[in-house]
Amino acid sequence: MSTSKSTEHVMAEAKAKRKRQTDNAQHNPVDDLAHKKKKKKKKKNKGGGGGGEGDANAQEGQAATAGEADGEDGGEDEEEGAEGAGGEGAAKKKKKKKKKKGGLKQTEPPTVPVSKLFPGGKFPEGEIQQYTDDNLWRTKSEEKRELERIEADLYNDVRQASEVHRQVRKYIQKIAQPGIRLFDMCEQLEQCTRNLIEERGLTAGVAFPTGCSLDWVAAHWTPNAGDQTVLTYDNVMKVDFGVQLNGRIIDCAWTVAHNPKYDDLLKAVKESTDTGIKTAGIDVRLCDVGEAIQEVMESYEVELDGKTFPVKCVRNLNGHSIAPYQIHAGKSVPIVKGGEQTKMEEGEFFAIETFGSTGKGYVREDLECSHYMKNFDVGHVPLRLPRAKQLLGTIDRNFGTLAFCRRYLDRIGETKYLMALKNLCDAGIVQPYPPLCDVKGSYVAQYEHTILLRPTCKEVLSRGDDF
């Protein structure tokens, strides 16, 4: 009897044990936990929060944990979980890849043409300033708006050139540090410009040589071959360069000064340029622009090494109108009062530039010449020197009536050209533009923008986040 009872007892215990195991298998707490977490993840993904590779990996980890606890059943769960997570992860990854492909970015140094950064072919407007007083009606005139629609292609060209200028100068502002050789800086700047505008002969390229005039040299200085001039901490450097597309020129300049003692000088000139831009407009007299500029400029003074200097306008330097392939198109914008009574007109382009000096406020030609330009209206002039004729042909093909420098002649393979170049200058075919200098020991700063007097508003084409 005792043996029979024992056997029945053992069988009952075994049956109960099997039942507990079955219950445990069906209600495994690890599996329940994994299941709950999966539900939470799904809710989050539906709500748009926190998805991605991290969540997919977490789900895979939970499925693996459940698989280890449950054996074969858990293995099936793991496979399904991994498959689901993999599907979600792949979708997320695809989206990320598309995001990367969506926006082409500029390199450093800049090499990507701006036409590829704006695949639609439409380039950003400059700063828009509304006309005031008697010209306020232009803003809402349908007739004037139609005139602008007709000129849409022209406006897009100058905006493209302006965008090139902004992107190139952004890079140059980073590398124009004490210790850089100015020859190298100019070469880099001009190569970046050629890359971004996609240089095509006279159709698109650099508009004139890069000016990097130092201290008392106000304008028209660029290094010739072999020049070893290096930028220093105490220099005041005017960086003036241009971009042209279909002959439409963007002329823009700013001043680099690393020593903060020059801050007031730079501020005076920058504010004066902005005042000139604000004053300019259709039917505005050029002399009125000059008077407004002078009033602002000469309200400033600068302290240098314990001495106080009034900031003076450089009275024999001016802004100017710009025409196709003609950087100085005939109208001069003075920066002092008492200039021309001539008025600005609708559709004109102007370079509004101001120069402030701690010296006499008057410049003269000095130093070795580097800038040259073929006279715009020159007719046929007989030349005796065959070498001069050959050089003139090179200038016509490569520069036309755009300004050039000796470095540009070197770049296209010209050698031993100085005598022929002098002959062209003496004949009046080519005009030399030597550096313009105030008194030695003084400091000159410059700021410049190109503006367009549109029928409905004034557009500061070269305006950027920097100035």
Residue with tokens 């007719």: 379
Binding-site annotation: residue ranges for substrate: 220, 328
Binding-site annotation: residue ranges for a divalent metal cation: 240, 251, 320, 353, 448
Smallest CA-to-CA distance from 154 within 249, 41, 56 is with: 249
What phi, psi does 415 have (nearest 5°)?
Answer: -135, 155
Task: Give the separation between CA 225 and CA 227, rounded to whole angstroms.
Answer: 6
Residues with Cβ within 8 Å of 356's Cβ and at least 6 positions away in sequence, in order, are 265, 268, 269, 272, 297, 300, 311, 312, 313, 314, 444, 445, 446
What angle do the packed helices 142-150 and 152-175 form, to 10 degrees? 70
Binding-site annotation: residue ranges: 220, 240, 251, 320, 328, 353, 448
CA-to-CA dists, residue 298 to 228, 288, 336, angstroms: 35, 16, 10
Task: Give the separation between CA 218 and CA 397, rounded to whole angstroms.
Answer: 30
Q: Cite the active site residues.
A: 240, 251, 320, 328, 353, 448
Residue with tokens 């770049």: 411
DSSP assignment of 117-131 equals: HSTTS-----EEE--
Fill in the DSSP letter of residue 342: P
Strand ranges (E), 332-414: 332-333, 349-357, 364-365, 371-374, 404-405
CA-to-CA dists, residue 160 to 25, 47, 156, 209, 463, angstroms: 71, 43, 6, 19, 13
Task: Give the separation between CA 141 and CA 22, rounded to whole angstroms.
Answer: 86
Angle at 251 between CA 248 and CA 257, to 5 degrees: 160
Task: Give the separation between CA 461 and CA 160, rounded to whole angstroms.
Answer: 10
Return the structure tokens found at 411: 């770049």
Fill in the DSSP letter of residue 408: H
Smallest CA-to-CA distance from 196 within 151, 238, 250 is with: 250
Task: Give the separation between CA 279 and CA 277, rounded to whole angstroms.
Answer: 5
Return the structure tokens found at 294: 């002078």
Smallest CA-to-CA distance from 406 within 215, 180, 187 is with: 187
H-run or E-run covering 172: helix 152-175
Task: Give the separation between CA 432 and CA 369, rounded to whole angstroms.
Answer: 7
Fill in the DSSP letter of residue 401: T
